[in-house]
Structure 1
Amino acid sequence: MTSGVQVSDHPEQMVRIARKWQAAEDVVALELVDPTGAQLPVWEPGAHIDLIMPDGAARQYSLCGDPDDRYTWRVGVLLEKEGRGGSQWVHQGLAEGDLVATRGPRNHFPLEPARRYLFIGGGIGITPILPMARLARTTGADFAVVYGGRTRESMGFVDELEELEAEVEIVPQSEAGLIDLDRLLADPEPDTLIYCCGPGPLLDAVEQRVAHWPAGTLRIERFSARTDTELTSDADQAFEVELAHSGTVLQVPADQTLLSVLEDAGADVISSCAEGTCGACETMVLAGEIDHRDSVLSESERAAGDRLMICVSRCRGEKLVLDL
């Protein structure tokens, strides 16, 4: 197991779709391999990769296979009919044998050491949970998995969870209603970490119900940006940003993102989701007070004040100094 945020510097690379299959209703799984037969970059549970669409846009998908298999990556992709087109491209535009550009792996959701784990997955949010549960079993940690979905037919990878021969609760909403979070999270448990991934309403509900648990108990990963007032309490205002390596000072207008200003100036930055969920644009901050608006960093990481996601976050004061 590991602790702390892991950020990969792997450049873009091509992979081949070795296998594509229907993992559940509206969910396809892809097995990806290097076209030359070489090993793929190392990853650990919680990591995701970018699949890069033909127009250059990137979509993030959690790796859900076996980290010890250095030759194969696996992702599960939910068809989002009202999405931005990435899942439709994967479902309808990709076939076995196709080559796809990728970036990563990147991990802002690492499994940290604990005596016990409670894993909560909602829908396609089960994908990062799968390798975490396997690792917990391998290391002998006590753990339980609760997996909720619309219907049993829409819930992929159930058979793999059941093969763990552990405490696994499958909760199809059509049969059993929503996950009973009041029961599940009623009593704080010592030395326990909770990992949760899934749709926003589930994550919000879990956050509310663990408020009386010890600080730092909950780890979550969001597939879409948070919209609560906590992230938008400050009105956009203009500020300066200094690039420490060159001494260049740039003006960031109130109506422009920090990322766009840096890109316009030709700064060497990487971005992907542009909504503060993937962590690709994480940049170290040397000075200045940060207005965090991402859905990636934990409260302790925000409090440290040494990094921000330049696609959405801003400055609370007049100036930021970045390690660029």
Structure 2
Amino acid sequence: MTEHYDVIVKKRQVQADNVVVLEFESANALKLPKIEAGAHIDVHLPNGLVRQYSLCQNPKQEGIFRLGILKDPESRGGSICAFDELQEGTQLKVSAPRNLFALDEAEHTVLIGGGIGITPLISMAYALYEEGKSFELHYCGSSIERAAFVEELQQGSLAAYTKFYFKQSGDDHRESLSAHFKQLNHTSHVYTCGPNGFMDWVIDLAKQNQFDDSHIHKEYFQVETDATGDAFEVYAQRSDKIIMVSAEETLIDALAREGIKIEKSCEQGVCGTCLCDVLEGEPDHRDVYLTDEEKAENDQILVCCSRSKSARLVLDI
């Protein structure tokens, strides 16, 4: 089980009308752990939902967790609750930081964020700056009025490393970055976060310029996942239960129906919370958490969205 902390909202600031910047501190004597650049935490919201948000502080800042959360009109209930209900003084639970988007050692690092996807890249930029590493930060958005952290990035220690592209100001990030990538050394590492279409474009651009896959890093906020398919049987070995998963039922719901509760969070195959070991059978991987190499090994499955290609799966649960 993931370690959890009781925290209190120490500071709250609304930026760009629809982004709330929250700073948490411990609500008791248990000190919050140090963070790594690129890490996120699970936030247990007042409405019962659990959502992952990237930490966007300088990793040197200890004893706090800082988040930037966009009030998304397409929200499934998480961001709206965070924006509306997390006020200064609110107490809640969060997980220990987990890092699925860690920095690799590189001669030069290129950070490219779209909209609220800038958040994990801010912590990376601070870490690289503190370590005296070579890097650049690119912030793409619709307008400066709808962008958070602009003043911090324009006036703080990261100003000399940051370039902004705002459509409303006539900036064309596609044209500028396409030209810029032609000048980059292929030993550089590229990190991108933002809307899925934006990230796909950055990844394609890097590949077109002969960047190796191992030098291209991405983090999804959310994905559209179809968890339906053919019915199949699951044998939960440790629980000694045989469970039928119907065509319209998710694997995690079928397990819960038979009393096998698996910890979950995003329910979209993004965060890895519901990862289980596969002992027999061939999973039908629907997630974006596992790498292609990990999926090919067929020894793990994210039960929130994935299914089975074989008629039977044996899981170590």
* Aligned residue among 283, 301, 316 for 1:290: 283
* C-alpha displacement of 1:207: 2.6
Alpha-carbon spacing, 1:41–1:241, altered in 2? closer, same or farther (3 Å):
farther
* C-alpha displacement of 1:235: 7.3
Alpha-carbon spacing, 1:68–1:308, altered in 2? closer, same or farther (3 Å):
farther
Deviations 1:137-171 (A, max 9, x none): 23333211111111112222234434225432111
C-alpha contact 2:47 2:81 (8 A) present in aligned 1: no
Aligned to 1:322: 315
The two structures have a TM-score, normalised by structure 2, of 0.89
* C-alpha displacement of 1:32: 0.5
* C-alpha displacement of 1:313: 0.9
* 2:175 is the alignment partner of 1:183: no
For residues 248 and 139 of structure 1, what CA distance do their matches in structure 2 show? 52
* 2:274 is the alignment partner of 1:278: no
Deviations 1:282-310 (A, max 9, x none): 22323332211112223333233332221
Aligned to 2:40: 48
Three-state SS of the structure 1 residue aligned to 2:268 is: coil
* C-alpha displacement of 1:49: 1.6
* 2:215 is the alignment partner of 1:223: no
* C-alpha displacement of 1:279: 2.2
Alpha-carbon spacing, 1:110–1:179, altered in 2? closer, same or farther (3 Å):
same
For residues 297 and 104 of structure 2, what CA distance do their matches in structure 1 show? 19
Deviations 1:243-289 (A, max 9, x none): 23344332222221111112122224110121222222122323332
Aligned to 1:193: 189
C-alpha contact 2:115 2:141 (8 A) present in aligned 1: yes
For residues 99 and 126 of structure 1, what CA distance do their matches in structure 2 show? 26
Residue identity matched to 2:195 = P
C-alpha contact 2:6 2:91 (8 A) present in aligned 1: yes
For residues 241 and 116 of structure 1, what CA distance do their matches in structure 2 show? 46
For residues 167 and 19 of structure 1, what CA distance do their matches in structure 2 show? 27
Three-state SS of the structure 1 residue aligned to 2:173 is: coil
Alpha-carbon spacing, 1:219–1:22, altered in 2? closer, same or farther (3 Å):
same
C-alpha contact 1:240 1:320 (8 A) present in aligned 2: yes
Three-state SS of the structure 2 residue aligned to 1:147 is: strand
For residues 235 and 36 of structure 1, what CA distance do their matches in structure 2 show? 43
Tell which deviates more after alignment, 85-94 or 114-123: 85-94
For residues 62 and 284 of structure 1, what CA distance do their matches in structure 2 show? 26
For residues 253 and 137 of structure 1, what CA distance do their matches in structure 2 show? 51
Tell which deviates more after alignment, 212-221 or 254-263: 212-221
* Aligned residue among 108, 113, 119 for 2:111: 119
Alpha-carbon spacing, 1:278–1:250, altered in 2? closer, same or farther (3 Å):
same
For residues 81 and 120 of structure 1, what CA distance do their matches in structure 2 show? 24
C-alpha contact 1:122 1:148 (8 A) present in aligned 2: yes
C-alpha contact 2:34 2:63 (8 A) present in aligned 1: no
Task: Report percent identity of matched pairs.
Answer: 35
Tell which deviates more after alignment, 184-193 or 43-52: 184-193
Residue identity matched to 2:103 = L
Unaligned 5+ segments in structure 2 are none
Aligned to 1:238: 231
Tell which deviates more after alignment, 168-177 or 242-251: 242-251
Alpha-carbon spacing, 1:194–1:287, altered in 2? closer, same or farther (3 Å):
farther
Tell which deviates more after alignment, 250-259 or 177-186: 177-186
Deviations 1:104-144 (A, max 9, x none): 42322222222221110011111000111122223333211
For residues 243 and 298 of structure 1, what CA distance do their matches in structure 2 show? 24
* Aligned residue among 119, 128, 132 for 2:124: 132
Deviations 1:158-198 (A, max 9, x none): 34434225432111111133412422444673322211001
C-alpha contact 1:10 1:105 (8 A) present in aligned 2: no
* Aligned residue among 154, 168, 180 for 2:162: 168
- How many residues are paired up? 311
